Structure 1
């Protein structure tokens, strides 16, 4: 779930208002993601004033470590992608992580954490399990929706993302109440916890013809390398990319590289080889920072 840069800076609370944080035994209304966004913004604004927290939430006595997330996240054009995240939360004895209004989240972001180009978090807060009196293992998700009407990602978002985590202790305070006292709310965020690479899902096809073919005659091997376009929710050709043409003899489990072919302006591949024996042809793409590696399913050629 994405907060765009303009939203995060100006109206992050409104962007998340529909997503309520479930409360186990809260006496008052459950805090919402909008409430967390309000506290986050107040903490950043207060910290910007001579490095203090005057007029904002107090610095919650927590820290984060051992942040673990998939090295790569591959995102297509329509389906939600949910990636598990775990981390260790260390807290003071005065922090009640079991409270219904204690909320923590893993986050990935691009740019700086205080003024991100974009960031992503989960549909629901992380769940924490106490390990000792002052440490807990937390598990959450980062949820990405690439489909129409949501557009969590734009094409320039492909590449490296940084990791962070945050925690908010509302301590019974209700941000919607008239008597709300933000100085009674604790908040802490921590960036630089590692990162991941978000990639545009790739597809690769192959077709070898004619079939069957006489030994010594030419075989034309065509194909196409395409990848997700997050802005129009289609797959577009990946141009100017080196792709290996590989061959596996019938009865063998190993592919050998025949030559390297470069995709044209529409991502298409085409080359000609000489028929030597029965076997499978495939194209193999090694991948880039923005696009994952992919192999086409081998196409069998009967040589007579």
Structure 2
């Protein structure tokens, strides 16, 4: 079988520093080995800054009636691990998972990965990533999954707001500006996020609830600008709902005193 060669190769290669994509084409199982309960980053999207490395932990359960010998997960972006985007693959730090025996048939496994801009993160790979995983049992059985779990890898977003003039007379017009930016993993900076719908929200002084006043779109440089009537003292903010490549973010509120 195809995977037999992979199992043998990986078993003997756990100490190797080099990583090669496994020669597997789809999920394969031999015997009763199972992979379950896969969790990436505690179940939360992985959000990476413009420059800093992001450590990602993957946990899963491995079972077989003979016990678990070893396991290895790999993170990748693409339609399959063999067709992963160039560079968008992450191997665990020591090339395998650390599996702790729960009982004679079950082990809990953990592996830590590092995602870093300009290495395995470029702007085009923001979005859905997958976990490739293989588990080998002590009796020679195995289980291999091309997509054991899907998860999001996102570009950190930032949002600002500024309402003027301050203070303002009741009934007069406020101009509310701001900017939506997100991490550019290729330049190592934060760039304006154009064409995005952002809500202008208001919270009355003494209240804990924001009300949406209107929706504004960012311009070609991520800038926001709109107007609204001043009625009472309160806080203004912009709020971005986020999407598959970029997390939601709220601007720090700007208080306006109405005279």
TM-score normalised per structure 1: 0.70
Match of residue 63, structure 2, among 81, 87, 90: 90
Q: In 2, are the aligned partners of 1:151 and 1:230 still within 8 Å (CA)?
A: no
Deviation (angstroms), 1:197: 1.1
Q: 1-side partners of 2:32 and 2:119: how far apart?
A: 36
- 1:222 aligns to 2:177 (yes or no): yes
Deviation (angstroms), 1:67: 1.0
Q: 2-side partners of 1:60 and 1:115: how far apart?
A: 27
Question: Secondary structure of the residue that 1:193 maps to in structure 2?
Answer: strand
Q: 1-side partners of 2:113 and 2:65: how far apart?
A: 26
Q: Which residue of 1 aligns with 2:134?
A: 166
Matches within 5 A, 1:260-279: 260-279=215-234
Query: What's the RMSD between the two structures over aligned residues?
Result: 2.9
Q: 2-side partners of 1:120 and 1:214: how far apart?
A: 57
- Structure 1 pair 60–126 and aligned structure 2 pair: CA distance change class (3 A): farther
Q: In 2, are the aligned partners of 1:160 and 1:198 still within 8 Å (CA)?
A: yes
Q: 2-side partners of 1:140 and 1:30: how far apart?
A: 13
Matches within 5 A, 1:152-231: 152-167=120-135, 189-231=144-186
Q: Which residue of 2 aligns with 1:33?
A: 17
Q: In 2, are the aligned partners of 1:60 and 1:186 still within 8 Å (CA)?
A: yes
Match of residue 120, structure 1, among 62, 85, 90: 90
Deviation (angstroms), 1:92: 5.6
Q: Which residue of 1 aligns with 2:78?
A: 110
Deviation (angstroms), 1:194: 1.9
Structure whose residues are more often strand by fraction: 2
Question: Secondary structure of the residue that 1:114 maps to in structure 2?
Answer: helix
Q: Which residue of 1 aligns with 2:100?
A: 129
Task: Describe the superposition over 1:208-258 as per-residue Cα deviations: whole angstroms up to 9, x where unpaired.
Answer: 111111111111100000111111111111101110000001111011001
Q: Which residue of 2 aligns with 1:73?
A: 46
- Structure 1 pair 292–141 and aligned structure 2 pair: CA distance change class (3 A): same
Match of residue 115, structure 2, among 140, 144, 149: 144
Task: Describe the superposition over 1:99-123 as per-residue Cα deviations: whole angstroms up to 9, x where unpaired.
Answer: xxx5633534322123322322332
Q: 1-side partners of 2:76 and 2:14: how far apart?
A: 25
Deviation (angstroms), 1:155: 0.9
Question: Secondary structure of the residue that 1:246 maps to in structure 2?
Answer: strand
Question: Secondary structure of the residue that 1:33 maps to in structure 2?
Answer: coil
Aligned pairs, how many? 240
Q: Which residue of 2 aligns with 1:298?
A: 253
Deviation (angstroms), 1:138: 0.5
Q: 2-side partners of 1:265 and 1:246: how far apart?
A: 22
Q: 2-side partners of 1:114 and 1:60: how far apart?
A: 24
Deviation (angstroms), 1:60: 10
